[in-house]
Amino acid sequence: MQQEEIEEKVAMLEELFQGVVGRMDILETSMADFLKTFMEQYRNVLESIAARVETANKRYDESKVQANIDELTKVVTDMPKVLTVRNTHHFGAWSKSLIIGAVIAFVVTAGSVGTALYFNYQNNRLNSEAYNFWLVRALYPEVSKTIEGKLAEDPNTFIKQAEKAMVKQQAIIAAEAEAKQAEQQQRAARQKLEKVKSGK
């Protein structure tokens, strides 16, 4: 069965190949005939073009053309391969002054803004402290009178005592925060231990 199919396909391919060969023969003969008729029709035109090219070639002296080519070749070989270019820019007197003025204005503006921000921060801090002292004066008048009296007697010693008391209070607050954090960690560790023991 397969042998018959293969023979059939081979036969079809042979027929197809014979058809292609026939068409190629027709194409070759018709192309030759076409070129022949083309050459016969335009022979006069081609001959006149060839004559013009020949007369144009005779107009120019070959020695002059060759001399021009040689001269151009010499110029090209004499040219340097790398050309150095210097590019400099000079600031004029007015542009130097303008740049210096802009830099000074920027520095002054930055300094002014920084100083204003610092004073604003200090003002807010002092305002908060004054408000706190006002609350103490309003709620605890005896304490405020004692503070004012001690400040009047020996301000340096009283300020040092106050600074020590503030450092102590900050240390106490920090220690309480650490203790609270340690307690939370211990509580979390206990919960983790209980979860491990219970097998969850």
Ranges 73-77, 155-159, 167-171: which has the least confidence: 73-77
Lowest pLDDT segment from 25-39, 43-57, 106-120: 25-39
Measured CA to CA, the distance from residue 102 to residue 98 in angstroms comes to 6
Residue 19: per-residue pLDDT? 79
* pLDDT over 70 at 71, yes or no: yes
Q: Please indicate, yes or no, whether the overall pTM of this predicted structure exceeds 0.85.
A: no
Confidence at 18, pLDDT banded by 50, 70, 90: confident
Phi, psi of 89, rounded to the nearest 5 degrees: -130, 130
Question: What pLDDT sits at residue 200?
Answer: 63
Enter the tokens of residue 87: 């590019």
Type of residue found at 60: Y
Q: What are φ and ψ of residue 9, in 5° steps?
A: -65, -40
Element (H, E) at 83: none
Tally of CB atoms within 10 A around 130 = 10
Percent of the chain with pLDDT over 70: 93
